[in-house]
Structure 1
Amino acid sequence: MASRFLPSRSMGFALAAGCLLFSALAAANVRPEDLSVSEIEEQLQSCPLVESLNEHKRASAPETASFTAQIFAVLFPGSPAVNSLLATLYISGPPNFLLALCPPNIDPSSLSVMVAFAVGGLLGDTLFHLLPEIFLGEDSPDHVSFVMVEPNKNLLLGLGIMVGFFTFVAMDKTLRIATGGEGHDHSHGHAHAHAEIEPTSSTTSAETKTESHADSLKQRRSTTSSSEVSVVPENKEKEINPSVKLGGYLNLIADFTHNITDGLALSSSFYASPTIGATTTVAVFFHEIPHEVGDFALLIQSGFSKRKAMGAQFVTAVGAFLGTFIGIAVQEFGGNGSMVDAPVSGIWGTSLTWGDMLLPFTAGTFLYVGTVAVIPELLETGPNKGVEIRKTITQFLAVAVGAGIMLAISWD
């Protein structure tokens, strides 16, 4: 048992408090193994040394809430269920309305800086907020907290993270198989979409190169002819490749499923604590902007009109609300993260409930989206070394800003 609050000599305080606790229990003829985790925590709070730690913590706490805490209090004023629904509305509405400002011919590769910023936010939220909350719990503003190490509890939490990670691996693999190995990603289809634009023009260019190798005397003429042919599709309606159309529709299905996991993430984080919920909302919001714009560009390339593409994105946003309702139901009926009364009545003999497993699942999905699904896009380079070096520096700065925002919120 270790203390999470460290004013000074905290380990000695924790051991002394534990000794006093077990001495008091022995005097009352109560065995520690007969108590639940929450009852042990309650007994610890009554120890004299722990009470002095609580007084020190309350005395050193700031008298007024931080600016970010005040903003979060205004944005999320209700219960965990209400706050989860509000957060889902925040991450679904504004990014989709921004699509009205996007030109239909937007280049998905131009979003690399925004994608890098979103990566920093997602990984920052995972490493600074979700993982500490999963294994240590949320700090209380009123009293010190202790961590009870249970057999196999951390193993189950790690298993939940792994299940979340490989759930997205399976989704990504399934979509790649369905699209014939074209490389569409469920969460960032725009990363590969630009490679499929104008297949007719690329085919014409390849044929022109073949002809130029066959007859060197006609190389200049064939080059001129290819440049003239490339102008024609701009004035005529381009024929959409069937595989690109299929990729667009499959991307909608994958986007809907991805939004469900976003809703699960928001609900599980708000039931963990208001701070974790608010920071997760910020991370998902910044991730959704390049996500939605990239999917919008992919739908345009798949033959959708701008109005139909926007409508399709609003339909997929319903998935976020569906995931939020599912998460709320799991938390309310499967346990909302509070410790159960009996030490062995949880999952596989631990104090964990099924509601406690949603946050590890969320961390696993964020790790996948922030690394495997996006990092390869940031690793893409072009032939111009000077341009790529400047682009790389900008991307790393964007990642640092995104992670720095999450760190500042957590520190504050």
Structure 2
Amino acid sequence: MDSTFFVILVFGLLMSSIAFIGGLFALLPEKLLKSLLQPLVAFAAGALMGGAFFHMLPKALASNVPDFSVLLWVVIGFTAFFALDQLMEWHHCHRLPSEHVRPMGPLLLVADGAHNLIGGLAIGAIFVIDIKAGIAAWLAAALHEVPQEMGDFGALVHSGYSKYRALLLNFCSALTFPLGALIAYFLGDTINLVLLVALGAGNFLYIAGADLIPEIKRAEKLSETLKRFGFFVFGLGLLYATH
């Protein structure tokens, strides 16, 4: 095993551990949670778009794969996650746990596992191509995972699971992320990793544009709107600075 394998394994397991962090965040007092959640979502939206435009797409377009094929797989990635949302009646909500009504806990776990598997494939692929770009893409994805896991934890508890069981099951579904990353590593010689990176860019753009931004673009006060926009730009800027 080379160093890339161990980097992918460590970062994959770190991503899975965010399932615990998200659950613990969800236990914070509601007032404090409200003050933290929307800026974090705005920051994650900017980081995801920055990861797609400043790291993943440049790497994919600089390869020997035709540009049209790269862009086609970006669209496939975007469309696949839209279909996952529509067909499984589930999306990455980032409201307070008390605002969730998700009675189908097992369905949520299956959908979350599929999401993490595809994300792991894409992030693992970019780690194989360029470790620095992989770390940047991982950071963008991790910022998104905290509010997502908060919502998933609240949904599972609402579905009837105990808090301990919800944390455990959420972590188990998150283990498909390192699984996907390791699959990308071991199959790197037999599949075109560039297309997986393009698929992941489509995933990032869908989550940022269709899932996160609609939840943060409206606020009661102008000061709150400006704060959210500032965190969004900060997320973009951070990923640009690390390109």
Class of the TM-score when normalised by the shorter of the 2 chains: 0.7 to 0.9
Does 1:171 pair with 2:84? yes
Any idea what SS the aligned residue of 2:140 has?
Answer: helix
Deviation at 1:135, TM superposition (A): 1.0
Letter of the 1:92 partner, please give it. Answer: S
The gaps in structure 2 that reach 5 residues or longer are none
1:226-245 aligned at under 5 Å gives the runs 244-245=102-103
Contact (CA 8 Å) 1:164, 1:364: kept in 2 or not?
A: yes
**Counterpart in 2 of 1:129?**
55
Q: Give CA-to-partner distance per residue, 1:156-176, whole Å, 9 cap, x none.
A: 111111111111011011022
Cα distance change of structure 1 residues 101 and 125 upon mapping to structure 2, 3 Å threshold: closer
Which is higher, the Rg of structure 1 or of structure 2? 1
Letter of the 1:330 partner, please give it. Answer: L
Contact (CA 8 Å) 1:109, 1:194: kept in 2 or not?
A: no
Q: Give CA-to-partner distance per residue, 1:332-352, whole Å, 9 cap, x none.
A: 322xxxxxxxxxxxxxxxxxx
Corresponding residue to 1:358 among 180, 185, 196: 196
**Counterpart in 2 of 1:207?**
none
Q: Give CA-to-partner distance per residue, 1:88-111, whole Å, 9 cap, x none.
A: 122222452453354177587652
> Which of structure 1's runs of 4+ aligned residues deviate more than 4 A?
104-110, 191-197
Cα distance change of structure 1 residues 195 and 99 upon mapping to structure 2, 3 Å threshold: closer
1:110-129 aligned at under 5 Å gives the runs 111-129=37-55
Task: Name the CA distance, whole Å, in 1 between partners of 2:41 and 2:80.
Answer: 22
Q: Percent identity?
A: 29
The gaps in structure 1 that reach 5 residues or longer are 1-77, 138-147, 177-183, 198-243, 335-353
Contact (CA 8 Å) 1:190, 1:298: kept in 2 or not?
A: no
Q: Which has the higher contact order (CA 8 A, sep 6+)?
A: 2
| TM-score, structure 2 as length reference | 0.88
Cα distance change of structure 1 residues 193 and 98 upon mapping to structure 2, 3 Å threshold: closer
Q: Give CA-to-partner distance per residue, 1:60-93, whole Å, 9 cap, x none.
A: xxxxxxxxxxxxxxxxxx5333322121122222
Q: Give CA-to-partner distance per residue, 1:167-190, whole Å, 9 cap, x none.
A: 1011011022xxxxxxx41xx134
Q: Give CA-to-partner distance per residue, 1:35-63, whole Å, 9 cap, x none.
A: xxxxxxxxxxxxxxxxxxxxxxxxxxxxx
Q: For this pair of structures, how many residues does the alignment match?
A: 240
| TM-score, structure 1 as length reference | 0.54
Letter of the 1:279 partner, please give it. Answer: A
The RMSD of aligned alpha carbons is 2.4
**Counterpart in 2 of 1:210?**
none
**Counterpart in 2 of 1:277?**
134
Deviation at 1:408, TM superposition (A): 1.4
Q: Give CA-to-partner distance per residue, 1:227-257, whole Å, 9 cap, x none.
A: xxxxxxxxxxxxxxxxx322x3322211111
